[in-house]
Amino acid sequence: MQTAVKAMFVAGACLIAASFSAQAAQTIRLAHTAATSHAHHAAALQFAQNVESRTKGELKVEVYPSGELGDQPALAEQVTMSALDMAVVSLGNMAMYDKKLNAMTAPFLFKSYDQAHQVIDNFVMPWMNKGLASYDAMGLSMFDYGFRQTTTQNVVVNKAEDLKGVKIRVPPATGLLAAFDAIGANTQSIAYSELYTSLKQGVVVGEENPVFTILADSLYETQNQLAMTNHYFDCQVLLINKTVYDGLPKEQQTILKEEAINAQNLTRKMISEGESAVVEELKKKGMNVTYPDRQSFIEKMAPAYEKVAELAGKDAMREVLNAVKATE
């Protein structure tokens, strides 16, 4: 009798423990807009796997790729409104919450991946989070998206003047629009989801994106020229709702931060070290690659910098430029 009672007690204790464990488990939803073949998805999956493993299943991360939960402005809004836990969003899109982030959209800020990484690690992350705090959001790390390049159909680009009058799709990021306006291109605002079709139909002649996106989204099928303009270093913040983050135990917060940096470093490795291989693959796909005169672009950028400074604020623009200068 006593043995039976003891067995029942142990079984009950196990059920209670299992119940508490199930209640303790928490699911975090992480969304991004990159294709599943992109480095960002690989980084998101690594983040999810490592977080779950290190928290022994107490934290699970569900990854929603390819814009399944909306485009980047929508994802940013969802995070700031506590409708989504985490997202990968460009600084250009985050500028709608803190105008100073427009300064990071200035063209030709960085000459190399290494320089960009130094400025991000030493300056951008704390500078950005200070402004986002009032929107219930914070960045855990910064994913590389890569230097943006220019593609066209039948327009060979060796210098800035070659893009004058060319009808090109440019995203709404302040600095990108200002840069192409400054060289006299005919900039067009087209949703990214409509870009491939617009290029195919000749609505626009060109576009600009990192080579990884050009390959992953098959834009090479509509464009036969790739100009390595390196006009903008694109990075995207791994964003988390601050209320969600603050509600976690300290040890789980530490794990999230560490794995966010590990995911960031994976994108850095895949993007910076993999760029040349992607360019070679695009050549095999039929693209002609040119390396335009950088100075011919820089000489025309004064109006672009004035526009960015106007929107970001002159102090913010000065702070960013000083941070870049400190690495030279």
How far apart CA 120 and CA 320 sit, in angstroms, is 10
- Dihedral angle at the C-alpha atoms of 193, 199, 205, 208, nearest 10 degrees? 40
What pTM did the predictor assign?
A: 0.87
What is the per-residue pLDDT for 22? 45
Q: Which residue has the tokens 């106007």?
A: 310
What is the per-residue pLDDT for 173? 81
How do beta strands 288-290 and 206-209 pair? Answer: unpaired
What is the per-residue pLDDT for 3? 52
Cα radius of gyration rounded to whole Å, the chain: 23
How far apart CA 121 and CA 107 sit, in angstroms, is 19
> Along the 328 residues of the chain, how does pLDDT read in single tens digits?
445 444 444 445 455 444 444 446 899 999 999 989 999 999 999 999 999 999 999 999 999 999 999 999 999 999 999 999 999 999 989 999 999 999 999 999 999 999 999 999 999 999 999 999 999 999 999 999 999 999 999 999 999 999 999 999 998 888 999 999 999 999 999 988 899 999 999 999 999 999 999 998 999 999 999 999 999 999 999 999 999 999 999 999 999 999 999 999 999 999 999 999 999 999 999 999 999 999 999 999 999 999 999 999 999 999 999 999 999 9
